[in-house]
Structure 1
């Protein structure tokens, strides 16, 4: 069902592209309100996102049920880090997607039924939409990278010659920490909208703390590579090293941007694009 839902989602997306939306990929109000974007393409784009989100929720439920069954029936499967990464990814999607769906629904009501969830003239708040959007938008980044973490960790565990504290449980709990912390740092995308000082400091601090489990993962991967007997000319070694180098660049630039003062200075620059 989750796969079939993507077909009407793509159909609505194509209609939206043909009619024209022009609201950017974040579709912030008031730009996405009816006053400034009265094209029906915007509504079709939101229908498309609704169906795609529903598809992701169904597939996540499928993954969780399947993995639960596998973990209960096959004890050896519990030692597969890549299966745990899929489980964490599915949990993140189920937690965050309903919030995005609610935001899109409220925006549709604002556009078509004269409500004022995000309209200041009616007592609404456009920043509320940004909070709801980024509560989904930031964990979505981890949804994309967690399976990659699982693949890299799985390969490193298999080519490593040792099984000690720098191993399965360290990687597993680091991944769990990233999932928990990653769901509470969405505000670092909103430093320029006028957050009060205490809120900005909170989001800055928690964002920096994510560097701890992330660092644990990177150093564990490097430790495993150094203790493996893999051939230096083996493509898999250089594939992992390339991933670690690129991921480290992204992580270091992210730590720089987590400081709210620097984020305001670097806003709308190539530094953010590079991150």
Structure 2
């Protein structure tokens, strides 16, 4: 992906095909596509490695990266398909499905881990409370955006109809709560 930044992708750094008006792109797009497929293959192999080798280790689950990384993946996949022709939509839908496969494997590994452990109310459980908070903030921030997408509102427009202002307020509230939890975790980890 770094190479495509210097060579220029032609579709923007977000890799939205709807931002481009060209039909033929430079080499940057090809490098970006290759890196996308390599990243997805590494996710699949990593999820398989966790399923095969970890065997439901609670420490591995406790320190996993599931709390914050799913937000960006879900948010970036929601708004990509407005205003595309059928060829591009088919390709990017297939790539989205390829991204969803490793996520499903991760969920399967987490559920299999949860069925093989006994959970007590010790310190590690209380340390996982920010995971619950971030899930609530994620829903507050992004579910109204999903509704915007279902109403076929383009994501690049910053001014909406006045009837959607309350949803924008809910999104902003979720964003601020997420930032507060992040600051709290930084302070808490700094004190520890």
**Offset at residue 164 of structure 1 (A):** 8.3
Alignment of structure 1 residues 1-16 onto 2, 5 Å: 10=3, 13=4
- Return the match for 1:60 from 39, 43, 55: 43
Contact kept in structure 1, 2:9 and 2:25, CA below 8 Å: yes
Q: Secondary structure at the match of 1:210?
A: helix
Contact kept in structure 2, 1:63 and 1:86, CA below 8 Å: no
Alignment of structure 1 residues 29-44 onto 2, 5 Å: 32-34=20-22, 40-42=24-26, 44=27
Larger Rg: 1
Q: Distance in 2 between matches of 1:205 and 1:180?
A: 10
Aligned to 1:218: 183
Contact kept in structure 1, 2:137 and 2:175, CA below 8 Å: yes
Q: Which has the higher contact order (CA 8 A, sep 6+)?
A: 2
- Return the match for 2:13 from 14, 20, 25: 25
Q: Distance in 2 between matches of 1:53 and 1:70?
A: 26
Q: Does 1:169 align with 2:149?
A: no
Q: Secondary structure at the match of 1:73?
A: coil
**Offset at residue 24 of structure 1 (A):** 4.6
**Offset at residue 189 of structure 1 (A):** 6.1
More helix by share: 1
Q: Secondary structure at the match of 2:25?
A: helix
- Extract unaligned runs of 5+ from structure 1: 1-5, 111-116, 118-131, 137-161, 229-275
Aligned to 1:197: 162
**Offset at residue 201 of structure 1 (A):** 3.3
Output one character per residue of 1:110-138: Cα deviation in whole Å (capped at 9) or x when no partner: 7xxxxxx8xxxxxxxxxxxxxx9xxx9xx
**Offset at residue 209 of structure 1 (A):** 1.8
Change (3 A) 1:30 1:178: closer
Aligned to 2:108: none
Q: Distance in 2 between matches of 1:76 and 1:28?
A: 38
Q: How many residue pairs end up in the alignment?
A: 154
Q: Distance in 2 between matches of 1:66 and 1:33?
A: 41
Contact kept in structure 2, 1:63 and 1:90, CA below 8 Å: no
Q: Secondary structure at the match of 1:222?
A: helix
Aligned to 2:111: none
Q: Distance in 1 between matches of 2:128 and 2:135?
A: 10
Aligned to 1:73: 56
**Offset at residue 73 of structure 1 (A):** 3.3
Change (3 A) 1:107 1:47: farther
Q: Distance in 1 between matches of 2:138 and 2:51?
A: 19
- Extract unaligned runs of 5+ from structure 2: 97-121, 149-153
